[in-house]
């Protein structure tokens, strides 16, 4: 089944709402007009009753015959068609118009005023029946007004509403369809532009209309998403290229060593040396693959840390022992300084120890023999602060913003033999950020480097 376009749905909803609104308006207008007519007629009937009461109060003392003449003159001569009748308390007629006699309209016996709708020989009437007190006597009066002209006007108005509804509905539907197409035209343009964007042109962006409405926000949001996708795609591409490059060298070396060993018979010592070289490259390659897998799992969100409450002092001290061993093997002085106050955090002990060892190993690699490395642990502003300071070769200003990027090695200073694959600092930054912290660095060429890690302290009431 073919899906219904959005513009058609909007038009249908618009037409339905318009029809409901027009029907409600027509009903309200019709009944308001009818109520207004009835109110006007009722006011006129009450005015006539008041006039009759005044007339009877003035003429009744002169006699009933004089009253009947005055009433006849008042109703028949002055008003033309007359629907009125008056009776005394005993039911004797004081006055009864010819039309009331002809149609035989009875006078209700009621003591209170009321409005009734009558129909006499097909003629609709609206009658007011009430009692009046004149000269100490009670009279019942009924005066009616013909409603045929008003009913015809209401009927005409009703037909106008019924006949105009389809025309107005068609016009409203056409207008709604035109407006929906005009309103959704930018969406169609966004759709076409988005369909033309692929992995080969992720740098393309959607045109942003300056309308300051939802379409502008949608375009800006999609452009932001495309920017993030482009950056992620570039990282993946670069990651793949760098990983391929880093793996190609040891694989080529192992293949070359094996081929050279098999070209001609060699002594046992030569074979053992070849196998030792291959084993050495395999160990480097295995370490590289392990780090690549760790970063891949971290990017995908599958690498999780087992965070528990722990004392960072003991963990940092264990890392310093291994760092001291590495430094002494290269002839570098190593010292540590840890505050006496326990530093409690919520973290993964293995991951944090790996972070500290990465920074210490990095300091040992780029500090010449006879240099100095100082590791310290303090707490400041709700953060545990671990600092690794060395007197090594330092980092250039151009390289400093990029040292945490994967596979990045500063030119000249960080060779493959010294610097490894360039993944250690990337892993260290991920571990710090996974703990809600960060790593910062200060360095100048020839003056050494300072790597500072900040990890949030655990609250005193946090669970173990």
Q: pLDDT per residue over 302-354, tens digit each?
A: 666 788 888 888 899 999 999 999 999 999 999 999 887 777 888 888 889 88
* pLDDT of the residue at 413: 47
Maximum distance among all alpha carbons in the chain?
Answer: 161
29 pLDDT above the threshold of 60: yes
Q: Can you tell me the mean pLDDT for 43-68? A: 82
pLDDT, residue 377, reads 92
Q: Are 252 and 224 in contact (CB under 8 A)?
A: no
Q: At residue 440, does pLDDT exceed 90?
A: yes
Q: Is pLDDT of 411 > 70? A: no
How far is residue 160's CA from residue 152's CA, in Å, rounded to a whole number? Answer: 12
Question: What percentage of the chain reaches a pLDDT higher than 70?
Answer: 90
Residue-wise pLDDT for 128-147, tens only, equals: 999 888 888 888 888 888 88
Please compute the mean of the pLDDT values over residues 6-27 and round it to a whole number. 84
Question: How do residues 160-201 score in pLDDT, each as one tens digit?
Answer: 888 888 888 888 888 888 887 777 777 777 777 777 777 677
Given this model, what pLDDT does residue 451 score?
95
pLDDT value at position 40?
92
**Residue 410 confidence class, pLDDT cut points 50, 70, 90:** low
Q: Is 60 exceeded by the pLDDT of residue 415?
A: no
pLDDT band at 419, cuts 50/70/90? very low
100-121 pLDDT, tens per residue? Answer: 888 888 887 766 788 888 888 8
pLDDT at 388 over 90: yes
N-to-C CA span, the chain = 58
- Percent of the chain at pLDDT > 90 equals 19
Instruction: Kindly state the tokens that stand for 334.
Output: 């190593």
CA gap 234, 239 in Å, rounded: 8
Which of 419, 418, 399, 421 has the alpha carbon at shortest distance from 410? 399
Residues 363, 390: contact at Cβ < 8 Å?
yes
Find out whether 142 and 128 touch, Cβ atoms under 8 Å. yes
Tell me the C-alpha distance between 25 and 427, whole Å: 69
- Return the top range by mean pLDDT from 13-17, 100-104, 181-185, 392-396: 392-396
What is residue 167's three-state secondary structure?
helix
Q: What digits encode the pLDDT tens for the residues 71-84? A: 777 776 555 557 88
Element (H, E) at 206: none
Mean predicted lDDT score pLDDT of the chain = 82
Single out the residue of 179, 103, 102, 105 nearest to residue 140, CA to CA. 105
Which of the two residues, 159 and 233, has the higher pLDDT score? 159
- Please, which pLDDT band fits residue 416 given cuts at 50, 70 and 90? very low
Threshold 0.95, pTM exceeds: no
Q: Which domains does the chain have, with CATH numbers?
A: 6-154 (3.30.450.20), 214-300 (1.10.287.130), 308-456 (3.30.565.10)
């Amino acid at each position: 089944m073919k899906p219904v376009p959005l513009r058609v749905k909007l038009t249908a909803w618009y037409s339905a709402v318009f029809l409901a609104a027009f029907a409600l308006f027509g009903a309200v207008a019709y009944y308001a007009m009818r109520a207004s007519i009835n109110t006007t007629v009722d006011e006129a009937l009450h005015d006539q009753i008041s006039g009759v009461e005044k007339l009877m109060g003035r003429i009744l003392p002169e006699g009933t015959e004089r009253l009947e003449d005055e009433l006849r003159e008042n109703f028949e001569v002055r008003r033309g068609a007359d629907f009125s009748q008056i009776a005394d308390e005993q039911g004797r007629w004081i006055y009864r118009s010819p039309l009331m006699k002809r149609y035989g309209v009875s006078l209700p016996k009621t003591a209170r005023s009321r409005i009734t709708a009558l129909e006499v020989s097909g003629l609709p009437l609206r009658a007011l029946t009430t009692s009046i007190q004149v000269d100490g006597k009670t009279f019942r009066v009924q005066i009616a007004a013909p409603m045929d002209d008003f009913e015809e006007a209401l009927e005409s108005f009703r037909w106008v509403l019924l006949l105009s509804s389809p025309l107005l509905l068609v016009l409203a539907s056409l207008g709604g369809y035109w407006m929906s197409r005009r309103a959704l035209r930018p969406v169609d343009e966004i759709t076409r532009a988005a369909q033309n964007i692929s992995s080969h042109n992720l740098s393309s962006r959607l045109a942003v209309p300056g309308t300051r409405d939802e379409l502008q926000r949608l375009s800006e949001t999609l452009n932001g998403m495309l920017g993030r996708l482009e950056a992620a795609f570039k990282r993946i591409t670069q990651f793949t290229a760098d990983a391929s490059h880093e793996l190609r060298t040891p694989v080529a070396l192992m293949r070359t060593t094996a081929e050279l060993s098999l070209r001609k018979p060699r002594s046992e010592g030569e074979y053992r040396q070849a196998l030792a070289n291959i084993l050495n490259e395999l160990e480097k390659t295995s370490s590289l693959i392990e780090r690549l897998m760790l970063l891949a799992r971290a990017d995908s969100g599958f690498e999780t840390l087992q965070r528990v409450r722990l004392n960072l002092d003991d963990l940092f001290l264990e890392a310093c022992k291994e760092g001291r061993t590495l430094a002494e093997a290269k002839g570098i002085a190593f010292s540590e300084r840890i505050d006496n106050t326990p530093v409690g955090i919520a973290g993964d002990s293995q991951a944090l120890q790996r972070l500290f060892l990465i920074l210490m190993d990095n300091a040992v690699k780029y500090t010449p023999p006879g240099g100095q490395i100082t590791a310290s642990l303090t707490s400041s502003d709700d953060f545990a602060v671990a600092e690794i300071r060395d007197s090594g070769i330092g980092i250039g200003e151009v390289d400093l913003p990029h040292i945490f990027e994967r596979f990045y090695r500063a030119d000249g200073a960080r060779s493959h033999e010294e610097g490894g694959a360039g993944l250690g600092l990337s892993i260290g930054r991920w571990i710090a950020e996974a703990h809600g912290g960060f790593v910062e660095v200060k360095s100048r060429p020839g003056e050494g480097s300072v790597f500072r890690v900040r990890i949030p302290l655990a609250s005193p009431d946090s669970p173990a």
